[in-house]
Amino acid sequence: MKIIDVLNKETILPDLKAHDKKGVLEELVTPVIHIAGVNKKDLVRVLVERERLGSTGIGGGIGIPHGKLKDLESLILGFGLSREGVDFESMDGRPTHIFFLLMTPENSTGLHLKLLARISKILKNNLFKEKLLNATDSDEIFNIIKEEDEEF
């Protein structure tokens, strides 16, 4: 499965305004709830609970907040870019700028892990991350991700 198969342009936020972890999570889920038809509080709660197990800030300016939700019908992917960077309790202690939000139904562990692995893999490419950081709008971000996704 490709990232682009599940990423919707409407869930791409090219300029996150939040300055803390909870704020970023709330901002990332806002466009997602309209597509998924789920409660914002429930979605944020699942993500906050997952963060308590260990930060999804994997270092290198990247965060991949993710979780599973019982009422979700299909996998949902969102993207956010923080120009300033946010303290996301990242493994390397540095600010996080690039966020992929992944929400899956409770019973789809395989799909969840495959997509997490694919996202992690493409984010190892520094040129790709640099292009994302310099992107100005959701169309440009979508096209950058699509281009990189097709190479894998």
**Greatest Cα pair distance in the chain:** 37
* DSSP symbol at 15: S
Catalytic residues: 66
3-state secondary structure of 142: helix
DSSP 30-70: HHHHHHHT--HHHHHHHHHHHHHHS--EEETTEE--EEEET
First to last CA, the chain: 11
d(CA 82, CA 132): 11
Q: H or E element: which one contains 90?
A: none
In this structure, how many other beta carbons lie within 10 angstroms of the beta carbon of residue 54?
A: 9
